[in-house]
A and B are shown apart, each in its own frame.
Chain A
Amino acid sequence: MWVETRFLEETWFLRPKLLRRYGQTRLAAGYYGTGIMKTLLLGLGNDLITDDGAGIVAVQELREELKGLVDVDIEESSMSGMALLELFLDYDRAIILDAVHTNRHPPGSILEWSPEDLDRIISPSPHYAGLPEMLAVASELQLNFPEEIKIFGLEVVDPYTIGEGLSEVVREAIPALKQKVIEQLEKWRNEVA
């Protein structure tokens, strides 16, 4: 599926086919007009702390695989909370990939959240000011912020040990995590279409 999408920018000749595939309105608005819907794909974590880097590894691979997509910007960050705010400015949508360690799901499970699922009340968090607080600030200040945010968390084995590389079970789950991203991008495109 991603093979089709990555040709959006590179291959003009495919556009008639893609127009049928994604719908004239979306593409007309997205690629030929000024109303392009920009998506931020953000990987969070630290790739020096083994599994904590799962989100980073996934977006690094996607950076190659989605090369040429003009409406998706791919970023990675080891920061958290309010320090991330600037990254989201001027995007219409955002997908966040992160390693999670809930101990309630088998390692390799992919968990999905929307901001509505997270507590919008400011709560004590190890990251002192998490996504809900950031969204609350953006809304209060009427910043140009993504209207839709999707969070995919990959349950990991060990986000504490120093070292490079992922646990095997986490490594094996990366393609599925990437697929979630592709599907979400598709879904958004189809919604507009």
Chain B
Amino acid sequence: MSQKIVIDPITRLEGHGKIDIFLNDQGDVEKAYFQVPELRGFEKFAEGRPAEDMPQITPRICGVCPMAHHMASTRALDDLYKVDPPASAKKIREMVYSAFMIEDHALHFYFLGGPDFVVGPTAPKAERNILGVLGKVGLEVGKKVIGMRKELRELIVLAAGKVIHPVFGLPGGVAKPLKKEDQEKFIEGADNAVEFAEFSLQVFNDIVLKNKEYVKAIVSDTYTHKTYYMGLVDKNNKVNFYSGDIRMVDPNGKEFAKFAPRDYLEHVAEHVEPWSYIKFPFLKKVGWKGFIEGADSGIFAVAPLARLNAADGLATPKAREACDQYFKTLGGRPVHHTLANHWARLIELLYAAERMQELANDPDIIDPQPRTIPVNIPQEGIGVVEAPRGTLFHHYKTDNRGVIKKANLIVATQNNAARIAMSVDKAAKGLIKKGKVNDGLLNMVEMAFRAYDPCHGCGTHSLPGQMPLILRIYDNHGVMKHEIRRE
């Protein structure tokens, strides 16, 4: 008889998630699954609507990363109308996007991922929470985090409208120019953000890197997978969140492919599993070989760890230095340790702050005409950005009036889904032995999951657009024995 342990819902996770762990007769893990019970169907919902509405509709898909959807959608409209926005518009967009990346990464490090490392993986459950983090880093730091996020959100509002409903991206540019006085506020906010990011890296250094046990956990085999990595890069192959080409590196860190976003379908396909609603993207040219790692398996990863692996470094000085230290400490590129995502996230936080600083100081940013009016007939548009949680694709096909005929969205967590599934399974197998299961071990299984900062709010898009709740029970051969469906 196999036993079943369910961690449901996964604590501190964005959206809803579920992990099922099956034990065999010996009490060892037969298989662990992560499940996405949420089904949304936004792609169908989009059909028949004007493409121009998409930058307003898609941020409402999920409350977690509205700005990433707004930006991917806006870039898809640029491509749809074949219009090149003026330099100033691109800079305003990237500056605002950088502010969003900073506040989102800060939220994850301190509030969601922080309890794992800042408080400690084996600390009692009652302490592994935000209050535990505050206890460890001090109340002043807590106030600093909240103050920083508030300042960034206010800046985003100045340039882009509400944080949850941004309205500034239009095909060909942005809705309004940036005022001189607002530019000054962005400069000040960016300066504060750089300081905040450096401080956060120092916190990580002091609390995590100086603790041998934590470092041992990061580099342990339990949390390691050798996969391909994906990320957007600029023309110098440096990380870029807002635009560029998609670069893939193989498990040895060698460039495997580099392509324009509009060619993504030549490189990425999606695999369907009977036990999950999520479609698992994989590298078409390598193929789907199951949930296995290595160069022969098409599974790839996105998000901070993957972005640093997929690029040749970062374009800003302080972040570049932090990135060099990261690779040096973790044994060179690529880094395959899932938990290193937390460190990589903070390095990206610093990069985003420095990039925001560069752009805020750019004289172009207050150009009074930040838009090129589109004149071409729409047909097909693809927009790709790096969301905090990884590469995000928006792909629309329209009629010649710009009404959506077909929409395809591949969201970050979906791109990471196969590797997340492997991480959960491997951590469960590595940590749970002979039926010995306790709270600390279960947390360490969940840590494998949380490092990706997964969000399932918009991870699934299948029809029929209804979210049934289904409980499936598998025997110790992975065969589904029962299904309970809530209509």
Contact = CB atoms under 8 A, between A and B. Distances in A.
A62 interface: no
Given A82-B111, A137-B142, A161 B465 contact: yes
B129 A161 contact: no
Nearest to A128: B12
Contact of A82 (B40, B130, B143): B130
Contact of A128 (B13, B60, B143): B13
**Which of A77, A133, A141, A143 has the most chain B CB within a 10 Å cutoff?**
A141
A162 B44 contact: yes
Contacts of A76: 164
Given A77-B63, A125-B9, A126-B9, A137 B107 contact: no
B150 A86 contact: yes
Contact of A79 (B9, B41, B63): B63
Interface string A117-132: 0000110111011000
A47 B130 contact: no
A47 B131 contact: no
Interface string B138-158: 010011001001100100000
B146 A143 contact: yes
B153 A86 contact: yes
A137 B130 contact: yes
A46 to B, nearest CB: 6
Interface residues of B, number: 41
A160 interface: yes
Interface in B1-46: 9-16, 39-42, 44-45
B273 to A, nearest CB: 22
A141 B112 contact: no
A176 interface: no
B42 A162 contact: yes
B265 interface: no
B130 A133 contact: yes
A47 to B, nearest CB: 7
A163 interface: yes
Indicate the member of B14, B16, B143, B468 with the most A CB atoms within 10 Å: B14
Contacts of B14: 128
Given A78-B63, A86-B150, A141-B142, A160 B130 contact: no
Contacts of A141: 134, 139, 142-143, 146
A136 B61 CA distance: 29
A89 interface: yes
Contacts of A163: 45, 465
B133 to A, nearest CB: 9
Given A122-B126, A122-B129, A136-B131, A162 B64 contact: no
B467 interface: yes
A154 B272 CA distance: 37
Contacts of B465: 161-163
Given A85-B146, A128-B12, A80 B129 contact: no
B149 A86 contact: yes
A140 B139 contact: yes
A149 interface: no
Most B Cβ at <10 Å: residue of A89, A124, A141, A162? A162
Contacts of B60: 46-48, 78
Contacts of B45: 48, 162-163
A83 interface: yes
A79 B153 CA distance: 14
Contacts of A133: 129-131
B191 to A, nearest CB: 20
Determine chain A's interface SS by DSSP, over half rule. Answer: loop
A162 B46 CA distance: 11
A76 B164 CA distance: 9
Count class of interface residues, chain A: 20 to 34
Contacts of A46: 60, 62-63
Interface string A129-161: 100010011001111000000000000000011
B466 A137 contact: no
A188 B451 CA distance: 44
A76 B63 CA distance: 11
Contacts of B11: 124-125, 128
Interface in B55-84: 57, 60-64, 66
B63 A137 contact: no
Nearest to A77: B164
Given A137-B130, A160-B466, A161-B465, A126 B16 contact: yes
A137 B164 contact: no
Nearest to A80: B63
Interface in B103-125: 107, 111-112
A124 B142 contact: no
Nearest to A83: B107
Interface in B336-354: none
Interface string B447-470: 000000000000000000111100
Nearest to A142: B139
B389 to A, nearest CB: 14
B449 to A, nearest CB: 12
Contact of A140 (B10, B13, B142): B142
Contacts of B134: 137, 140-141
Contacts of A142: 139
A173 to B, nearest CB: 22
A122 to B, nearest CB: 4
Contacts of A143: 143, 146
Interface string A51-85: 00000000000000000000000001111101101
Given A126-B9, A160-B467, 14 more contacts: A46-B63, A48-B61, A82-B111, A83-B63, A89-B146, A124-B11, A125-B9, A128-B14, A133-B129, A140-B131, A141-B139, A141-B142, A141-B146, A161-B466
Lowest 6 CB-CB distances: which A-B pairs, in order? A78-B63, A160-B467, A79-B63, A128-B12, A124-B11, A162-B465
24 contacts: A48-B42, A48-B57, A48-B61, A49-B40, A76-B164, A78-B62, A78-B66, A78-B164, A79-B63, A82-B111, A82-B130, A83-B64, A83-B107, A86-B150, A89-B150, A124-B9, A128-B11, A140-B134, A140-B139, A141-B139, A141-B143, A142-B139, A162-B42, A162-B44
